[in-house]
Amino acid sequence: MPDGTSATGEPLVRIRGAAKRFGALTVFENVDLDVHESEVVVLIGPSGAGKSTLLRCVNGLERLDGGTIDIGGERLGYRESALNRMRRHVGMVFQNFNLFPHMTVLGNVTCAPAKVARRPYREVEEEARGLLDKVGLADKCDVYPSSLSGGQRQRVAIARALAMHPRLMLFDEPTSALDPELVGEVLDVMRALAAEGMTMMIVTHEMRFARRVADRVVLVADGGIAEQGPPETVLDAPRTARARDFLRAVLEH
């Protein structure tokens, strides 16, 4: 993936005319979205609107039915070799942690850089310990995921994604499976990542987090992007009736 995309003003992620269908269901169409280097874009919207599907299209877990996605100036293709190359630069964190249960915390974090990127183990391990320290889990290197809390597991999942040196991080409701008292520790790690300049696309229902951390909020609804803009516009003074309806529903909930 070529570097220097920001120098040319090119977005890191450029989505044009994206369409996704499942059989007769059109999830979205005509989606245009740019994400620039170091930008934090928060996707919100009603259940079933296609937020997860859009993120999954960005890292090639789902295939578009129309339109294009470019990452770092490179067209997302669907041949295995191209997908694997692209995925090394795109980290994804899901709702349900997806850690390897038979590996220790350290094993989970070192696995991809050692095996997929084939970097020297000693270097990978040292960096993994540093990443686990960064997410507050330096003392958990040798335990198995089953002995961790949900918030700890999710922080391991973030460290594991970071170990591949991604240029882009995708988060799909990373806190929605957590007990309320564990949400903050995961959001704090994400906020620190944003402050370091990580480019992120985040699906979340945490409106306070969106308000504080998002550069841009994108409302996905009615088969496309219904509204987007800075959080103080989309969340506090939405221009569309669709956004007002959605926010009212969220607040009532």
Angle between helices 150-162 and 121-134 (to 10 degrees): 140
Q: If binding is defined by CB under 6 A, does position 47 make contact with ligand ATP?
A: yes
Q: How many residues does the chain have?
A: 253
Kindly state the DSSP code that residue 22 receives in the 8-state scheme. Answer: E
Q: Provide, rounded to whole angstroms, the least separation between the CB of residue 218 and ligand ATP.
A: 12
Q: If binding is defined by CB under 6 A, does position 44 make contact with ligand ATP?
A: no
Among Mg ion, ligand ATP, none, residue 4 binds (CB under 5-8 Å by kind): none
CA distance 168 to 55: 11
Q: Provide, rounded to whole angstroms, the least separation between the CB of residue 20 and ligand ATP.
A: 8
Identify which range of 10-18, 50-58, 82-90, 117-125 contacts ligand ATP by CB under 6 A.
Answer: 50-58
Q: If binding is defined by CB under 6 A, does position 153 make contact with ligand ATP?
A: no
Identify which range of 7-15, 20-28, 78-86, 98-106 contacts ligand ATP by CB under 6 A.
Answer: 20-28
Contact 131, 109 (CB under 8 A): yes
Residue 15 or 128 with smaller CB distance to Mg ion: 15
Q: If binding is defined by CB under 6 A, does position 49 make contact with ligand ATP?
A: yes
Q: Which residue has its beta carbon closest to Mg ion?
A: 52
Q: Provide, rounded to whole angstroms, the least separation between the CB of residue 204 and Mg ion.
A: 10
Span 42-101, contacts to Mg ion by CB under 5 A: 52
3-state helix, strand, coil in the chain (%, to 5): 40, 25, 35
- 27: its two tokens: 């999830």
| Secondary structure in 3-state letters for 176-203 | CCCCHHHHHHHHHHHHHHHHCCCEEEEE
Q: In what order do the strands lie in the sheet with 25-35?
A: 25-35, 13-22, 66-71, 74-75
Q: Which residues bind ligand ATP (CB under 6 A)?
A: 22, 25, 27, 45, 47-53
